[in-house]
């Protein structure tokens, strides 16, 4: 137990334990004693890294978004046409979340209903983090005359809002359906959005 507590990746091990317990019990039934036992450490070690049960659950969601944003950054910097990058990024934000929580039997809203105010505030911050990455690609597309829009931040938020219906917040994995279906739906929505973004000059080939 002591060796585990001293590992450099102890914080990630704790969050891995949270993921497992949220899947099995949900937030309300999960206890810090359960978490300590799942990780193989003392409960005091958890409190060295997280101030409360609420914080450890929210930090688990934060980690999912941190990893998503890392992947979005890679796509944003890829040497591909900007419209293809945006489409892939929109698909990724849906599928990454699905893959991260598809083993949960409840939606995230239901799972973390006891934390609703804090969870909603955190979720809005997550969307803003994503929007920052989309803004850079959108502005690049406008500079090269692939995209036409007035406000990059508003446009980025609109892209996110349009695909939010496919995220596992209000729907559980069963309601979201198969991954391939979800991917196709995200691609269709992305293409509809991109058709409105592409500049008239690009559309006409002039």
Overall pTM > 0.85: yes
Percentage above 70 pLDDT, the chain: 93
**9 pLDDT tier (thresholds 50, 70, 90):** confident
Between CA 170 and CA 51 the distance in angstroms is: 28
Every domain of the chain and the residues it spans: 1-50, 57-204
Instruction: Please spell the DSSP secondary structure of 54-117, one letter per residue.
Output: HHHHHHHHHHHHHHHHHHHHHHHTSSS-HHHHHHHHHHHHHHHHHHHHTT-SS-HHHHTGGGHH
**206 pLDDT tier (thresholds 50, 70, 90):** very low
Between CA 191 and CA 206 the distance in angstroms is: 21
pLDDT in tens, 85-143: 999 999 999 999 999 988 888 888 888 888 889 999 999 999 999 999 999 999 999 99
8 A C-beta contact, residue 147 and residue 138: yes
Q: Quick check: do 1-50 and 57-204 share a fold?
A: no
Q: What is the pLDDT of residue 169?
A: 85
Specify whether domain 57-204 bears CATH 1.10.3210.10: no
Which CATH number does the domain 1-50 belong to among 1.10.510.10, 1.10.10.60, 1.10.3720.10, 3.40.190.10? Answer: 1.10.10.60
pLDDT in tens, 18-60: 999 999 999 999 999 999 999 999 999 999 999 999 999 999 9
């Amino acid at each position: 137990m002591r060796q585990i507590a001293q590992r450099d990746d102890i914080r990630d091990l704790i969050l891995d334990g949270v993921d497992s317990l949220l899947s099995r019990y949900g937030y309300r039934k999960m206890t810090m004693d359960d978490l300590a036992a799942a990780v193989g450490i003392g409960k005091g070690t958890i409190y060295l890294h997280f101030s409360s049960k609420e914080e450890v659950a929210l930090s688990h969601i934060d980690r999912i978004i941190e990893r998503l944003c890392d992947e979005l950054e890679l796509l944003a910097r890829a040497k591909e046409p900007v419209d293809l990058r945006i489409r892939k990024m929109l698909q990724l934000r849906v599928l990454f979340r699905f893959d991260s929580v598809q083993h949960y039997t409840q939606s995230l809203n239901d799972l973390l209903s006891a934390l609703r105010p804090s969870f909603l505030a955190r979720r809005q911050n997550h969307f803003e983090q994503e929007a920052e990455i989309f803004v850079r690609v959108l502005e690049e597309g406008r500079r090269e005359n692939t995209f036409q829009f007035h406000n990059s931040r508003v446009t980025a938020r609109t892209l996110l809002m349009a695909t939010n219906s496919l995220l596992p917040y209000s729907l559980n994995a069963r309601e979201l359906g198969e991954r391939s279906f979800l991917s196709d739906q995200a691609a269709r929505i992305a293409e509809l959005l991109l058709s409105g973004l592409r500049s008239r000059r690009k559309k006409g080939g002039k």
